[in-house]
């Protein structure tokens, strides 16, 4: 199990948002989340993720900017493994078949 698979669902969602942003403030991360919790909840979770070593931050003009500590490729592999396990029973062939069927993922 990779360290990313040890995250809770909301933690994973926040880490994925930070990877998409490459670096972002609490407000920017909040805007990336579907059905987001409160601003203070996101701020608290970002700090927990810093403590756990998934994220780092820097202070720029009184604003904290969060960024991932790990390589994007590791996070991508973890996310793909999670999708395979949760939606395709670990069957890579089924996942690839769905992609090859021409399913438009952007219309979901």
Task: Summarize the confidence of residues 36-47 as an average pLDDT.
Answer: 95
Residue 65, SS3 per DSSP: strand
Residue 67 has which token pair? 């960024």
Of 74 and 28, more confident: 28
Containing 93, the helix (H) or strand (E) segment is helix 92-100
Instruction: Please give the DSSP secondary-structure letter assigned to residue 35.
Output: S
- Give the chain's domain count: 1
Does 43 score more than 80 pLDDT? yes
Following CA atoms 56, 59, 63, 66 in sequence, which dihedral angle do they give, to the nearest 10 degrees?
-10
Average pLDDT over residues 14-33: 94
Average pLDDT over residues 45-60: 95
- The predicted structure's pLDDT at residue 1: 43
**DSSP reduced 3-state for 58:** strand
Domain that holds residue 96: 1-108
Render pLDDT for 76-88 as a digit per residue (tens, 0 to 9).
Answer: 676 777 778 878 8
User: Which band of pLDDT confidence, cut at 50, 70 and 90, is reported for residue 12?
Assistant: confident
> What CA–CA distance (Å, rounded) separates 17 from 31?
9
pLDDT at 59 > cutoff 80: yes
Q: How far is CA 98 from the centre of its chain?
A: 23
We report the CATH number of the domain holding residue 14 as 1.10.10.10
User: pLDDT value at position 49?
Assistant: 95
């Amino acid at each position: 199990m990779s360290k990313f698979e040890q995250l809770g669902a909301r933690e994973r969602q926040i880490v994925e948002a930070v990877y998409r942003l490459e670096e972002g403030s609490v407000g920017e991360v909040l805007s990336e989340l579907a059905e987001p919790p409160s601003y203070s909840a996101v701020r608290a979770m970002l700090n927990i993720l810093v403590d756990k070593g998934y994220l780092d931050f820097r202070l720029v003009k009184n604003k904290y900017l969060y960024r991932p500590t790990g390589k994007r490729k590791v996070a991508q592999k973890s996310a793909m493994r999670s999708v395979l396990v949760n939606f395709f029973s670990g069957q890579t062939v089924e996942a690839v078949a769905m992609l090859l069927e021409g399913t438009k993922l952007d219309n979901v």
